[in-house]
């Protein structure tokens, strides 16, 4: 069989290539409508992460069609574009998605909050019971019942699942970018323009994601030597110093921290992150919460995303992030495979041993 003939049959069956491409685009549009209708049916809260992903994909597709459908590859006329892809109503469609996601998101959050309230109530009952005088089989049985209920709720990993639910729905940075404005690639640099047409500079919050868009009056360089033009709002990547605080912004889409959390290009990274430096590859730790205090460093408070230095306790283990004691290594690097004398937090130097994975050994 002639391969070229078969290819032509696929592209030109019954019409020309432009009509075929148009049919594909129409089919994609109808598929989106069908999938989103299913995802917004029963079990709305459970389906919301999927619904959000579909909404993001659909809005992105519609934006592409509005910008390129009349171009040389598709050659849509204005009437067809309006009929099939709601030309001029993209903002209405985006708002409709946003309203639905926000409504169901709030419903989902309420379920998490209810479980948190139940857990706190049970813990309070347990504390009160333990503080009452006397023992006996009745008290023991009541404690066993409370412990079982507490364990059942704790097994749901409420806080972690609430965070995952939030980051995959309303607080998804990609979704927030679509409803707040849009990223634009200008002269090989990404900038963000809001719905008013204003180019953003400085800090930009998109859901759970934070970005830094160069506001400086002078050229700014990151740790990799990349130069960001002054005052242009260019998305910065790599290590960035803002005042006395150091952050790290993902240099590309899909970069992950140790826990497997994925970050978009330019998004501020948090948690343990393995990075290449002058000594090879090492782990750094970027504070994942707002205003965490290091009790072993004169109560120093770290902002969200700030590079951690000094003693760090995580998941029951102790680590030490170089504060400058290791002059041959960059600040913030996790110490590992060595014995070293360090301040124990009480201005007393003691010897400590750190294993291959950086965990302090007793």
CATH of the domain at 357: 2.10.270.10
pLDDT at 7: 42
Instruction: Kindly report each contact of residues 226-234 with a partner whose C-beta sits within 8 Å and lies 24 or more positions away, as own/partner.
Output: 228/189, 229/189, 231/201, 232/189, 232/191, 232/199, 232/201, 233/191, 233/192, 233/199, 233/200, 233/201, 234/189, 234/190, 234/191
Percent of the chain beyond pLDDT 70? 87
**Is 303 found in the same domain as 361?**
yes
pLDDT at 5: 40
Q: Which residues make Cβ contacts (< 8 Å) with residue 261, sequence separation at least 6?
A: 270, 271
Query: Do 222 and 236 form a contact (C-beta atoms < 8 A)?
Result: yes
Choosing from 56, 88, 120, the residue where a domain stops is 88
**Is 346 found in the same domain as 300?**
yes
Q: How many structural domains compose the chain?
A: 3
pLDDT at 108: 95
**Is 31 found in the same domain as 109?**
no
Q: What are phi and psi of 276, to 5 degrees?
A: -85, 135
**Is 79 found in the same domain as 15?**
yes
Considering only residues 117 and 277, tell me which one the structure prediction assigns the higher pLDDT: 117
**Is 320 found in the same domain as 353?**
yes
Q: Is residue 34 part of a domain?
A: yes
Q: What are phi and psi of 142, to 5 degrees?
A: -65, -40
Which residue has tokens 């099939």? 84
Q: Is residue 253 part of a domain?
A: no
pLDDT at 297: 67
**Is 128 found in the same domain as 57?**
no
Q: Region 233-258: what's the mean pLDDT?
A: 91
Choosing from 26, 58, 88, the residue where a domain stops is 88
pLDDT at 2 over 50: no
Mean pLDDT of the chain: 84
Q: Is residue 197 part of a domain?
A: no
pLDDT at 56 over 90: yes
pLDDT at 106 over 70: yes
Tokens of residue 180, six digits: 């707040």
Tokens of residue 132, six digits: 């009452």
Q: Report in angstroms the alpha-carbon separations of 114 from 87, 126, 147, 321, 343.
A: 42, 18, 18, 38, 43
End-to-end CA separation in angstroms for the chain? 73
Q: Is residue 234 part of a domain?
A: no
pLDDT digits (tens, 9 = 90+) for 7-36: 443 433 445 777 777 777 777 877 887 777
**Is 110 found in the same domain as 56?**
no
Q: Is residue 150 part of a domain?
A: yes
pLDDT digits (tens, 9 = 90+) for 261-316: 999 999 999 999 999 887 788 999 999 988 787 766 667 889 999 999 999 988 88
Q: Name the pLDDT band for 226 (thresholds 50, 70, 90).
A: low
Choosing from 22, 54, 88, the residue where a domain stops is 88
> CA–CA separation, 263 vs 256, rounded Å?
6
**Is 81 found in the same domain as 16?**
yes
Q: Region 194-221: what's the mean pLDDT?
A: 83
Q: Name the pLDDT band for 326 (thresholds 50, 70, 90).
A: confident
Q: Shortest CA distance to 194 belongs to which of 209, 172, 178?
A: 178
pLDDT at 348 over 90: no
**Is 142 found in the same domain as 61?**
no
pLDDT digits (tens, 9 = 90+) for 136-184: 888 899 999 999 999 999 999 998 899 899 999 999 999 999 999 999 9
Parallel, antiparallel, or unpaired: how do β-strands 360-361 and 310-314 relate? unpaired
Structural domain of 346:
270-362
Q: Is residue 256 part of a domain?
A: no
Query: Do 286 and 323 form a contact (C-beta atoms < 8 A)?
Result: no
Q: Is residue 23 part of a domain?
A: yes
Instruction: Kindly report each contact of residues 236-240 with a partner whose C-beta sits within 8 Å and lies 24 or more positions away, as own/partner.
Output: 236/211, 236/212, 236/266, 237/265, 237/266, 240/212
pLDDT at 220: 60
> CA–CA separation, 300 vs 288, rounded Å?
15
Using DSSP, state whether 327 is helix, strand or coil. Answer: coil
Q: Is residue 291 part of a domain?
A: yes
Q: Find the range with the poorest average confidence among 102-111, 131-140, 229-238.
A: 229-238
**Is 353 found in the same domain as 285?**
yes
Considering only residues 248 and 61, tell me which one the structure prediction assigns the higher pLDDT: 248
**Is 359 found in the same domain as 323?**
yes
**Is 115 found in the same domain as 32?**
no
pLDDT at 64: 84
């Amino acid at each position: 069989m002639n391969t070229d003939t078969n290819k032509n049959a696929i592209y030109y069956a019954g019409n020309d290539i432009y009509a075929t491409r148009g049919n594909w685009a129409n089919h994609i549009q109808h598929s989106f409508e069908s999938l989103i209708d299913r995802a917004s049916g029963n079990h709305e809260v459970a389906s919301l992460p999927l619904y959000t992903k579909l909404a993001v994909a659909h809005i992105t597709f519609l934006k592409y069609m509005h910008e390129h459908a009349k171009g040389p590859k598709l050659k849509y006329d204005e009437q067809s574009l309006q009929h099939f892809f709601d030309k001029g109503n993209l903002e209405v469609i985006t708002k409709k998605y946003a309203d639905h996601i926000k409504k169901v998101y709030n419903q989902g959050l309420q379920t998490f909050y209810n479980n948190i309230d139940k857990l706190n109530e049970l813990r309070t009952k347990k504390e009160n019971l333990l503080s009452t005088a006397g023992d006996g089989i009745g008290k023991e049985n009541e404690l066993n019942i409370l412990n079982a209920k507490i364990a059942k709720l704790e097994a749901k990993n409420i806080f972690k699942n609430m965070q995952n639910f939030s980051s995959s729905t309303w607080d998804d940075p990609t979704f927030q970018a679509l409803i707040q404005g849009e990223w634009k690639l200008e002269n090989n640099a990404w900038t963000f323009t809001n719905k008013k047409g204003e180019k953003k500079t400085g800090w930009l919050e998109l859901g759970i994601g934070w970005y830094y868009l160069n506001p400086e009056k002078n050229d700014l360089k990151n740790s990799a030597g990349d130069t960001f033009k002054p005052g242009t709002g260019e998305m910065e990547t790599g290590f960035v110093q803002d005042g006395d605080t150091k952050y790290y912004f993902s240099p590309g889409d899909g970069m992950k921290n140790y826990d497997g959390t994925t970050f978009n290009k330019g998004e501020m990274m948090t948690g343990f992150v393995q990075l290449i430096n002058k000594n090879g590859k090492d782990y750094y730790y970027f504070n994942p919460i707002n205003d965490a205090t290091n009790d072993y460093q004169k109560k120093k408070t770290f902002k969200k995303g700030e590079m951690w230095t000094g003693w760090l306790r995580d998941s029951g283990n102790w680590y030490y992030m170089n504060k400058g004691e290791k002059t041959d290594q960059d600040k913030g690097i996790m110490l590992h495979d060595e014995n070293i004398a360090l301040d124990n937090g009480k201005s007393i130097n003691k010897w400590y041993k750190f294993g291959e994975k950086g965990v302090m050994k007793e």
